[in-house]
Structures are given as C-alpha cells and as structure tokens.
C-alpha cells in the first residue's frame, strides 16, 4: 500500500472525511496528540489511544477515505482472504458485537454462478448452530457488495499451531478431533458435508481463563453440500455446481472418493479428511508429503501412509489404529458417523496425558486479527515510527478466523477442460496405469533380486 508524506492537518481532515471519528471526537483528542506536523506520527498516536486501528490508519495515510463501513458494521482489520473474497474483523455498531465478515470480491458479483455459490454458502451456514462450528450471524447486500457476518474466533488455527509448536500432545489431539467430530455430527444431521476439513479450517477459541479448556471451531462450510432430496436423479437445489473436470478440496487431506467425484460423497469423506488432520496433528506432517497434486490424489487411493506410531513412538497403538480406520480407502471400512468417532475418542482424550496449556504460550497469543502477542503488535506499529524514510506498507493476510491457506498443494485442482472428469475416462485411466506401472516395477525388482 503506497503512502506519501502527509502532514498533521491533512491526516486529521482525512479522519473526519472517512466518518471514523466526528469533528468533536477529533477535537477532544487534540490535547493527547504530539506536537508535530508529521501525519504519520499523529496516526501512530491515534492507534496507541485506541481511536483508530492500524489497518484504518494505514488506509488513511494512503488517502483511502471510504470502505470503512459495511451497513451496520465498522471495519477494523483485514484478517485474511478466501477463494471468493476477503474477510475483515468488524464490529456491529448497534450491538457492539465483534464479528468476522466475508465480503465477496467485486469482480465475482457480476457472475450469476458466483452469486449462487455465495448464497448457497449462506444457506449452509444458517443451518448450523453448534459450539464446535463457527456461527453465522448475518448475510446481506450493501452497495452491490454481498457479505456474510460470522463469529469472530480469538485463537489460532491448527495448521498455524503445529507449524509453530510442532506435533501436539496426544491427549490434546484426541480432544481436538473429538470436538471436531461433534461439530461434523451436527452438520451430518442437517444432511451436509463440509468437503474441505483440514488443520487450517479448525480454530481454537482461547478460554477466558488460561487454565480453562479451549473450544474447537470448524470454519468455512463454503464447500459444503446441501444434501437436498434428489428428484428424478437430479442434484438438490443446494448442491454445489462445478465443471465436470474440477476437483474441489485440498489434496493433502482429500478422500479417494471425493477425488473421483465431488458430488458422490457423504459424511465419511469428511471423516477421511479428519483422519488426515489427526495424522498431521500427531506427527507434524501430512500423510503423503512431497509430489504434486495428482501424485497425492493417486497415493490417497493406492498407498498406506507411514503409521503415526512409527514416526512418533509415543503414540499408542490404539490411537494409531483409530487414525488408520479413519483413513481407510473404502468408506465402508471407516467409522460411519462422526458421533462414532467422538465416542471412540472420549476415554482416550480424558485418560492420555496432554494439556491445553500448549496453546497458552506463543501460539495462544496469535488470534483472529493475526497478531502474535505484544511483540507482534509493537512490530505492527513500526510503520508509524518517526525515524527513517517513509516506506510503503503492505497489509499482510492474517491468520485465524479466515486463515491463509498454507497447504502444500492448491485448494482447487482443475484438469484441462478437454479431459474427462475425475473418476471416469482418461483421467481415471491415467491413475490406474500409474498404479499398474508401480506394481510392475516392484515385481521386476523382486525377480531381479531373487538368487
């Protein structure tokens, strides 16, 4: 975000024009401002006084005078980006409630498909009310912008937590997966499938008391399928529409059946993804590291990952067996409902050693605004320092309520439009040939090694 030198009065005029503060509020703040003509120094003081956020000050210094309000919501920070838009931390001015708002990107609102996808996400979110699912509060359209207001979660996502702190305590992991399963059970009872369960879509809500338990929150039912009753073989009204040759999901956590067909999946596909997440939390690595998206999809269908207890010897065999069952290639061999998973983990979560205290250190201070404790907040104010030349400031995508996708492979894998859809025709034949070639190579090696 390019900034130019701004004097004191120019910055105060911009604050007034933006509507973030009234003339009276600016006048009342004057005695607390430093005696300087540098607008950047004045902006820093506004942030320190809590009258503006760093995000708002940055935009004002860059001469952005609008975009601070969305209906009744006052925008505080940008906290991330999703596939179809941006997400902001905001406050409802009447209710004084902090929320996360997903705003559909302007270029997408012109397409009928994008609007339908967004409306489908809103309908999906409105059906879900559970302690382990991010709550949807409001959806509306203002000045041609579609938005969804959601619960603001003050805590890290699990991808971020593991990358910062490494594999988590076993008892803690069991409790995390148990709570996630309870949330998925609620969705299952509403006839819904998430279809993108992964560590970065699971958040930990920090407790008010550091000694208290955290709560797992499932984020982003944007890929969820509303399993409406099918009439005459046609998909339900809420079914997500995509090109036939598109695979939606994250390859590191994608079930074999979802790779073949986005639509012909049920809750057991989410359980497979939950098993991959379980694996990641225990070991600190994805089940099939390395390779490109297609490599991963093939391995999910044809290869067993290294058992968690091999990579981490302190993992009990019973826990490793649960992961293996969740990640069974055939859906019939998995747990059949999320409630079954939660029941299987209840005693393990209670009996195994492990504490929520792992998230009360460095990672716990990382919240939905992307700040990582006071150290990070101080660094965030550096752009307002008096010393040194004025430099351009970038608004960094934040982690938390809408985490940046840190997966090793893309969210959407799209083949050449001329190819057949996954699971049929040429694409499936390529996968089958790859598996057969691998088996043939192993056979040749075995024969050559015989005496």
Reduced to 3 states (helix: H, G, I; strand: E, B; else coil), residue 31 is helix
Phi/psi-derived region of residue 176, left when phi > 0, alpha when psi is between -120 and 50, beta in every other case: alpha
Rounded Cα distance, 413 and 250, in Å = 8
Rounded Cα distance, 313 and 231, in Å = 51
Please state the φ and ψ torsions of residue 365, each to the nearest 5 degrees: -75, -5
Q: How many residues does the chain have?
A: 451
Single out the residue of 259, 287, 290 nearest to residue 430, CA to CA. Answer: 259
Residue that the structure tokens 């076993």 belong to? 170
Core vs surface per residue 301-339: b (16+ CB within 10 A) or e: beeebebbbebeeebeeebbebbbbbbbbebeebbebbb
* Active-site position among 154, 159, 196, 220: 196
Rounded Cα distance, 384 and 395, in Å = 14
Residue that the structure tokens 């809408």 belong to? 402
Active site residue 416: no
Single out the residue of 114, 109, 139 nearest to residue 124, CA to CA. Answer: 139
> Which residues are catalytically annotated?
196
């Amino acid at each position: 975000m390019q900034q130019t030198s701004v004097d004191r009065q120019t910055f105060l005029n911009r604050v007034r024009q933006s509507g973030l503060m009234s003339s009276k509020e600016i006048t009342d703040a004057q005695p607390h401002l430093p005696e300087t003509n540098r607008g950047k120094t004045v902006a820093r003081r506004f942030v320190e006084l809590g009258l503006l956020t760093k995000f708002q000050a940055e935009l004002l210094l860059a001469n952005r005078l609008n975009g601070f309000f969305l209906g009744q919501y006052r925008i505080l920070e940008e906290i991330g980006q999703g596939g179809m838009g941006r997400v902001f931390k905001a406050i409802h001015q009447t209710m004084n409630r902090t929320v996360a708002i997903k705003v559909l990107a302007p270029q997408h609102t012109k397409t009928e498909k994008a609007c339908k996808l967004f409306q489908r996400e809103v309908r999906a979110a409105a059906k879900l009310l559970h302690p382990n699912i991010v709550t949807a509060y409001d959806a509306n359209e203002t000045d041609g912008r579609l938005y969804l207001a959601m619960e603001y979660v003050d805590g890290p996502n699990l991808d971020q937590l593991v990358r910062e702190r490494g594999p988590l305590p076993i008892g803690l992991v069991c409790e995390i997966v148990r709570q996630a399963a309870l949330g998925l059970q609620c969705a299952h009872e509403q006839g819904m499938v998430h279809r993108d369960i992964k560590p970065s879509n699971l958040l930990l809500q920090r407790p008010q008391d550091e000694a208290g338990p955290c709560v797992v929150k499932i984020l982003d039912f944007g890929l969820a399928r509303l399993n409406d009753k099918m009439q005459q073989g046609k998909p339900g009204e809420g079914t997500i529409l995509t090109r036939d040759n598109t695979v939606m999901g994250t390859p590191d956590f994608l079930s074999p059946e979802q790779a073949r067909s986005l639509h012909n999946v049920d809750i057991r596909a989410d359980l497979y993804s939950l098993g991959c997440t379980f694996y990641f939390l225990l070991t600190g690595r994805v089940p099939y590291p390395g390779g490109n998206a297609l490599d991963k999809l093939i391995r999910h269908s044809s290869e067993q990952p290294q058992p968690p207890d091999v990579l981490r010897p302190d993992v009990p065999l019973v826990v490793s067996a649960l992961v293996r069952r969740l990640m069974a290639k055939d859906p019939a061999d998995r747990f059949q409902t999320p409630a079954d998973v939660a029941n299987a983990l209840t005693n393990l979560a209670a009996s195994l050693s492990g504490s929520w205290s792992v998230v009360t250190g460095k990672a716990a201070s990382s919240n939905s605004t992307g700040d990582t404790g006071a150290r990070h907040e101080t660094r965030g104010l550096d752009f307002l320092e008096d010393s040194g030349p004025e430099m351009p400031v970038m608004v960094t995508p934040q982690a938390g309520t809408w985490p940046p996708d840190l997966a090793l492979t893309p969210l959407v894998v799209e083949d050449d439009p001329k190819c057949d859809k996954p699971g049929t025709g040429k694409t499936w034949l390529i996968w089958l040939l790859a598996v057969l070639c691998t088996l043939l190579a192993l056979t040749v090696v075995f024969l050559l090694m015989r005496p």
